[in-house]
Structure 1
């Protein structure tokens, strides 16, 4: 009964959200793969049976088809007022993406965790670090992270959340491998700078970007080439950061 209540509560999110899209998550995984320590590579190869991070990066979306996994639905995002930091915000009883990342790390590192659990939560972790860097996954609660802000995208109906989950990246027209290759060209000093900070710093960064994105479009606005020109760089920046930071998280987990 509890799982059913959670499912019904989150149904509006599930219908309208794509959770950073398959392409975005695979880009994040592919970039991270190139920045792992040898020890992390060995551990991941063992736990994932040789599969790549890009391959498992969409797992957390795929399990939504099974209602028994409804307790994980709220783990993809966090919503709170734009003028509040996560640490000071009211936390959802269903959890959120910050709590999810911390919980996944705890279970993976716990020596008493079964191999099955470590694999399961590792796959979730890969996905949730990606979600953390999609700014609208750290937006306001009253419009469900932009899902209620209806727009037009090249003449077709969409919403502000979906623009950032799917429309922008798909409109660019590159495969995830092509895009990952282009974005994975970061000077060492810049990489080190990107990987600094904590999960709380990173969610605050996404939350601030969400405020900027809310100002980027009005309800009913018709978005097209100008929007891609203005915001593709921000999209690419977040994908790049997500990949490099995912590598940092995994290197720390398996050190």
Structure 2
């Protein structure tokens, strides 16, 4: 029994270490709630049977442990050479994060779905829009999206992808509601600019940041307080953008 318990705890730890972890995704979901139209919020509440967007946001990571959902794993990222746009680059024949978002939107807008299927695509969409704004989900294929970009975080071995997924957020030591409340205050004009553009426009904006993040550290470098000072505000802004843009997409689907 104790071995089973240890396995379950380890499994949850591994799940929580991917794709902005639980706090990052729930912060995006909590933020999106603030920008939903009232009618849309009620529709989503019915679809999710009262579950909040924040709670639903981690579903796509939770199902990774079930091999029945293996075909959706490539939906969490896209590996693109830095000298090409997403449109120019060769696509993963198994799909990628842009394909996944578009497929979720298409199903939710145009298909006659069962309640179960509608919940599935909605939960996937909520999660993938969050992933899209974690810049290393557009990392390079040769280092697996910076998972093989080895660094240290306060002298503990890790990788650059993990720093952006969880390490900085964990170091901030806040609940997702506290983190959502701490995100930067934006003017109406700043929010309008974030809402403007197509999905591919947003992808390329995030990829501009991906290039900068790759230059933010050297291999095996120890990252600590200075890195937090320089980059955590950027991470917070990305979570804010993800929440606002998720609301834009959901308002369009359900209005």
Q: Common fold, TM-score beyond 0.5?
A: yes
Unaligned runs of 5+ in 1: 1-13
Q: Distance in 2 between matches of 1:190 and 1:254?
A: 24
Cα displacement (A) at 1:17: 6.3
Q: Distance in 2 between matches of 1:245 and 1:54?
A: 15
User: What's the CA shift string for 1:172-194, capped at 9, x where partnerless?
Assistant: 11111011112263222211111
Aligned to 2:213: 213
Pick closer, same or farther for the CA change 1:36–1:61 going to 2, 3 Å. same
1:253 maps onto 2:245 in alignment: no
Aligned to 2:116: 116
Aligned to 1:129: 129
Taking structure 1 as the reference length, the TM-score comes to 0.92
Cα displacement (A) at 1:16: 11
Residue 147 of structure 1 contacts residue 162 of structure 1 at CA under 8 Å; is this kept in 2? yes
User: What's the CA shift string for 1:14-72, capped at 9, x where partnerless?
Assistant: 99961111111000000000110122112101100111100100000000110110001
How many residues were matched structurally?
242
Aligned to 1:230: 230
Q: How large is the RMSD of aligned CA atoms in angstroms?
A: 1.5
Matches within 5 A, 1:77-226: 77-183=77-183, 185-226=185-226
Aligned to 1:8: none
Q: Distance in 1 between matches of 2:154 and 2:99?
A: 36
Residue 129 of structure 1 contacts residue 246 of structure 1 at CA under 8 Å; is this kept in 2? yes
Pick closer, same or farther for the CA change 1:40–1:184 going to 2, 3 Å. farther
Q: Distance in 2 between matches of 1:125 and 1:137?
A: 15
Cα displacement (A) at 1:110: 2.3
Q: Distance in 2 between matches of 1:52 and 1:70?
A: 25
Aligned to 1:3: none
Residue 17 of structure 1 contacts residue 147 of structure 1 at CA under 8 Å; is this kept in 2? no
Q: Distance in 1 between matches of 2:119 and 2:110?
A: 12
Matches within 5 A, 1:18-57: 18-57=18-57
Pick closer, same or farther for the CA change 1:16–1:159 going to 2, 3 Å. farther
Q: Distance in 1 between matches of 2:241 and 2:19?
A: 17
Unaligned runs of 5+ in 2: 1-13
Counterpart secondary structure, 2:141: coil
Q: Distance in 2 between matches of 1:111 and 1:28?
A: 26
Q: Distance in 2 between matches of 1:39 and 1:109?
A: 16
Cα displacement (A) at 1:206: 1.3
Counterpart secondary structure, 2:152: strand
Residue 16 of structure 1 contacts residue 162 of structure 1 at CA under 8 Å; is this kept in 2? no
Cα displacement (A) at 1:115: 1.9
Taking structure 2 as the reference length, the TM-score comes to 0.92
Runs of 4+ in 1 over 4 A off after TM superposition: 14-17
